[in-house]
Structure 1
Amino acid sequence: MNDHYKHAALLVMDMQNRIVSRFAEQTDVLLPVQRALEAARRNGIPVIFVRVAFREGYPEVSPRNKIFGRIAEFGGVSEAEADTQIHASVQPLPGEPIVTKRRVSAFAGSDLEVVLRSRRIDTLILSGIATSGVVLSTLREAADKDFALTVLADACLDADPEVHRVLVEKVFPRQADVMAVDAWIDGLA
């Protein structure tokens, strides 16, 4: 394995049933994520799954929060709900942690940083839905925390293809290496 990834982890973010279902008609949309998972596992790179979910009764949800404020009204996003479980096509293996966050960034309201620091991880490889949500927020916070970053552009999805393009081509390269999954896999050798 490339020394650059010696202390790295692949973050698979918000690949949970409710979010993945928004892309259900695009059957091959998770193939890059699956290839990244297989390559990480084959090369001994830890995989950490991140999902968004809330406690029963939604005590973490503020009505002032534009993204999450209506969740308490409609429900379906508590920790035990099927919608918040990791999608079957990218299931964690035994021993691969699932971190539960309470906001957009993978760090917000979660123990992600504790998991990373305990494993001496200083490099993050990011994949997730949505590029303009969890990927952007996590990238910004991780950069501020001095993690080295790689974004797997084709293992990130967004409902707005133009927003995805602008982020991966113009915004993310300021703080991360941005590449396709196949190029990242080739670089592991």
Structure 2
Amino acid sequence: MAERSILLVMDMMNDLIHPKGMGGKSYVPLCEAKGLYDNTAAVIARARAAGVMVGYVRVGFSPGYAECPPGSPVFSKAKDNGVFTLGSWGTEVHEAFAPQEGDPDIVKHRVSPFYGTKLEPLLRAQGIGRLILAGVSTNGVVSAAVREGHDRDYACCVLEDCCAGATQEEHDFALAGLRRFAEVTTAAEVEF
């Protein structure tokens, strides 16, 4: 590839995709059915072997939830449910693809991985022009990353078998809308 790439593993946290996490009933069945855990681990290994940076994006709030928007239909119940608390097991990346020493850790307080985070300074400093995206949920962080990445002039590539929604319909609908803005491929077929 002519442009430097980064593989972003987004919101693949225990709260969302671990069977014992709060999202266990929502996301885990589709993650398991799609082979998301194995696919994501395999593409991370391929990226590392190709010398491609692997970065992790996690949603989280300080223990007092000061950054949590109370009127958000997505995040307003986080405090009540005790989820997305930074420093807790729930906001750790799932052990199947945990970060290695030196991997960028981008913490966000909204759906977008760009909004109020260090992601763009990291991309600019590293001369990265292509985002390879994996994450939960397809209609949340993945869609936000593609749309905002596109508008910031990054080439975007979605790994459809490394993404999931709460339902297959939600996932498929999100992908249909993203094909206009990004390449959609699989963990096995992506080129580094």
Same fold (TM over 0.5): yes
2:17 aligns to what?
A: 20
Confirm or deny: 8 A CA contact 2:36 2:163 kept in the other structure: no
Identity value in percent: 33
The equivalent residue for 2:147 is 140
Match of 2:114, SS state, is coil
Unaligned runs of 5+ in 2: 19-23
1:173 and 2:172 correspond: no
Equivalence for 1:73: 80
* 1:49 and 2:56 aligned: yes
What's the CA shift string for 1:134-186, capped at 9, x where partnerless?
A: 10111111111110011111111111101212322x211111111111111xx
Q: Structure 2 counterpart of 1:155, which letter?
A: C
**How far did residue 24 of structure 1 move?**
4.2
Q: Deviations over 1:40-88 (max 9, x none)?
A: 0000000000000011201111221111112122323221111001110
Secondary structure of the residue aligned to 1:99 is strand
The alignment's TM-score, normalised by the length of structure 1, stands at 0.91
Aligned match of 2:41: 34
TM-score, normalised with respect to structure 2: 0.89
Runs of 4+ in structure 1 off by over 4 angstroms are none
Q: 1:24 to 1:172 in 2, by over 3 A?
A: closer
Tell me if 1:123 matches 2:130.
yes
What are the equivalent positions in structure 2 for 1:157-168 lying under 5 Å apart?
157-168=164-175
- 1:139 and 1:127 map into 2 onto residues whose CA distance is 11
The structure carrying a bigger helix percent of its residues is 1
**In the aligned structure 1, how far is the partner of 2:112 from the partner of 2:44?**
21
In structure 1, how many angstroms separate the alpha carbons of the residues matched to 2:185 and 2:84?
A: 32
Distance in 2 (alpha carbons) for counterparts of 1:108 and 1:121: 18
Structure 1, 148-157 or 69-78: larger mean CA deviation: 69-78
Give structure 1 stretches of 5+ with no counterpart: none
Q: Within 1, Cα distance between the matches of 2:80 and 2:179? A: 38
